[in-house]
Structures are given as structure tokens and as C-alpha cells.
Amino acid sequence: MNLRLLVQLVASVVTNANLKGFFTGKIYDGVLKRGCVPTLNCYSCPGALFSCPVGAAQVTLTSGGTAEPAGPVPTLRERLWNVLSGTPWFILGFMTVVGALAGRATCGWLCPFGLLQDLLHRLPTPKWRPPKAMRLLKYLCLVVLVVLMPLFWVDSFGYSEPAYCKYLCPAGTLQGGILLPLLNPDLRGVLGKLFAWKMTVLLLFLAAMVFVARPFCSWACPIGAFLAPFNRASLLRLQVEADRCVKCGACRKVCVAGLDPVTELDSGDCVRCLECARVCPLHLIHAEAPFLPAPTRTRPDGAQPGGAQPGGAQPATVSDTSAPTADSH
């Protein structure tokens, strides 16, 4: 089995290891939920052990701070405290640490929703590469649905809601929205138009995953949008020796993000899966970081740069482009 697939599977299971929740329909309420994962994993999934950074950030923003006003008009000190305590510093810091270490590598290696997209995209159907401009949509999702609406879109009672979770997030629908009502008759009774909308969004994304490489990551994930700039400013770095490239196209065929690695490696849309490095017959794509040992830096399957494969096998030749678990575009 491909090492990355194994890591993705293990990460998905560990993130959702509250197995008894899948039978009882109750979500985990232990101390681990104080922390979050660097991936999209709904904390209302019966199996989820940790919080979702997107949900947690919105909840902090909607809370508007923790100061209890002493009088009818909040004092300056109270207002200042509310701004301070109503900003998701912990989540921002956590995601910044993740970005500084590895950029979007968590998308390529750890995210359960990324795994789902990779698996569905393996189905043998014609593939489509949508216009690149659509990738900008994820930044709009981050700014409007995750930040601005929870902050400013308040109802007549002065309350706001986590708009991204409510109107868009298909991971919430898949992990919590389907399972919890299935396991709890009380919840089934109150499903309405909003649920129908969220199911439609989920089904549209699931269908798109078959034909388009990682559509959700490219167009709609706020985590991907937040981590994207860190691909240019993280300790982990990917490099391609473009001047030695023979344009065999092997890397483009397997790129899980639908990119051309020769020109777009480590761009904001690269999820650093290293599938391109795995299949490059000349081993021209490398990963480097201070925390990676030099001899195994460059190949996810453990082969050495430009040299022998594990077990002493010779590297693939230029014409050998069939090895990968490729999906064709």
C-alpha cells in the first residue's frame, strides 16, 4: 500500500476514534476537544475526538467576548476585553504553527475529507480541469463565511451564527448531519429545509470529486485557504529541478490537486502530497526541511534522490509512467 494512503487512513481513524459514538449516537465530550486538528473534521461527528478549527474559530467569533457588562453601556475596558477574548487567538496560533512547519502538507497527508476526495477521484471516469480562477473561491469562503458573517451578521437579538458550518460545510453534513439523525430519532423529527440544502451541497461536492481533483480543497475549504500562503513560508519546502525536466507528464497525471507540478509545485493549491515526487522517473522533485533526515528527504516511498529504490531496485526509467496509483486527467 502507498505510504501516504496508509498515513491518511491512520490519521482519519485516530481523529475519529470515539468508536462507541457510532453506536450510541452521542458525541465525545472529553478533554481532548479543547484542542483541534489541523484538518477539516466535524466536531459533531460521533467519532470525533478533537475540535474542528473552522468550527472553533467561528464559535469564538460569534461569542463576542467574555466580559459581563456592569451597566447598560459597556465600558471601554469591557469592550477592549471583548475584542481580545472574542478573537480566536488559539486557533490562529495553532494553524500558524502548522503552516510554519509544513504548509498544506496536512491536507495531503492527514485530512479525512482530503482522503475521501482522493478515493472518489480514483473512479475511472473522464476528468475535468476547471478554470484556475475558481480556486480563489476558497479565500472568499474564509473571509465571508468564517470571519465576516459570524462577526457582523447578527439577528434581532444580537446573536450571530457559524455561517460556514450552517450554510456550506459538507464535512459537517457527512459526518454529523447524516449519522446523528440516523442514530437519534429526536433529531430526525426536526430536519427541514436547511438540512435539504446542506445535503444538496454535499451531494454536489461528492459528484464533483469524481470528475475534478480535490474540488472542495480547491474551491471551498477555509483551512486550505489559510494554509495556502504558508507553502511559500514554511520549514518544509518542495523543489523541482525544472531545467532537467523531460516533460514526460507523469507528475501532472497523478497530481491530486490537478496541478502541473513542474510550474505549480508548492503553489498555494499544492497539498504537498508528494505523489509527483513518487512518480517522477528522474527524481527531480524534492522535499526539504530541517526536521527531515537528509537521506530520506526526497521520496515518500523511502527511495533516495536520484538513486536506488528501497530494497536495492533501480529507479524507474523515463518511459515508465504507469507505476503510480494514477488517475488520468
Partner 1 sequence: MATPTPTGPATAAHPSRLPWAFLAAGLALMLGGIWLGETARILDKATQVCLQCIGIG
Q: Which of residues 270-299 bind ligand SF4 (CB under 6 A)?
A: 270-276
310 near partner 1, rule: CB under 8 A = no
Residue 214: name the closest of 117, 301, 309, 131 by CA.
117
Distant-in-sequence, close-in-space partners of 172: CB < 8 Å, separation ≥ 6? 42, 44, 55, 165, 198
Residue 279: name the closest of 237, 325, 238 by CA.
325
Residue 2, contacted partner among ligand SF4, partner 1, none, CB below 5-8 A by kind: none
Rg, Å, the chain Cα set: 22
Convert residues 107-146 into a mask of x (bound to partner 1 by CB under 8 A) and - (unbound). Answer: ----------------------------------------
- Cβ pair 251, 82 in contact under 8 A: no
- Cβ pair 251, 286 in contact under 8 A: no
Residue 308, contacted partner among partner 1, ligand SF4, none, CB below 5-8 A by kind: none
Choice between 89 and 122, CB closer to partner 1: 89
Cα(220)–Cα(39) distance, rounded to whole angstroms?
13
**Number of residues in the chain:** 329
208 near ligand SF4, rule: CB under 6 A = no
Residue 275, contacted partner among ligand SF4, partner 1, none, CB below 5-8 A by kind: ligand SF4
168 near ligand SF4, rule: CB under 6 A = no
Query: What SS3 string covers 258-289?
Result: CCCHHHHCCCCCCCCCCHHHHHCCCCCEEEEC
Cross-strand partners of 36? 51
Q: DSSP code of 240?
A: E
Convert residues 113-152 into a mask of x (bound to ligand SF4 by CB under 6 A) and - (unbound). Answer: xx--------------------------------------
Number of residues lying near partner 1 (CB under 8 A): 79
Cell of 29: 465530550
111 near ligand SF4, rule: CB under 6 A = yes
Among positions 36-55, residues that touch ligand SF4 (CB under 6 A) are 39-40
Choice between 94 and 216, CB closer to ligand SF4: 216
Residue 285 phi, psi (nearest 5): -110, 130
Among positions 75-114, residues that touch partner 1 (CB under 8 A) are 84-85, 88-101
Cross-strand partners of 286? 239
- Contacting range for ligand SF4; rule: CB under 6 A; set: 83-91, 119-127, 160-168, 269-277: 269-277
| Strands of the chain, DSSP E | 237-240, 285-288
Among positions 22-61, residues that touch partner 1 (CB under 8 A) are 27-29, 31, 33-36, 42-44, 51-52, 55-56, 59-60
- Burial of residue 319 (CB within 10 Å: 0-12, 13-18, 19+) is exposed
| Closest distance of CB 87 from ligand SF4, Å | 21
Residue 296, contacted partner among partner 1, ligand SF4, none, CB below 5-8 A by kind: none
Residue 91, contacted partner among ligand SF4, partner 1, none, CB below 5-8 A by kind: partner 1
Residue 102: name the closest of 45, 38, 155 by CA.
38
Among positions 183-222, residues that touch partner 1 (CB under 8 A) are 187, 190-192, 194-195, 197-199
Site for ligand SF4, rule CB under 6 A: 39-40, 107-108, 111, 113-114, 216-217, 221, 223-224, 255-257, 259, 261, 265, 270-276
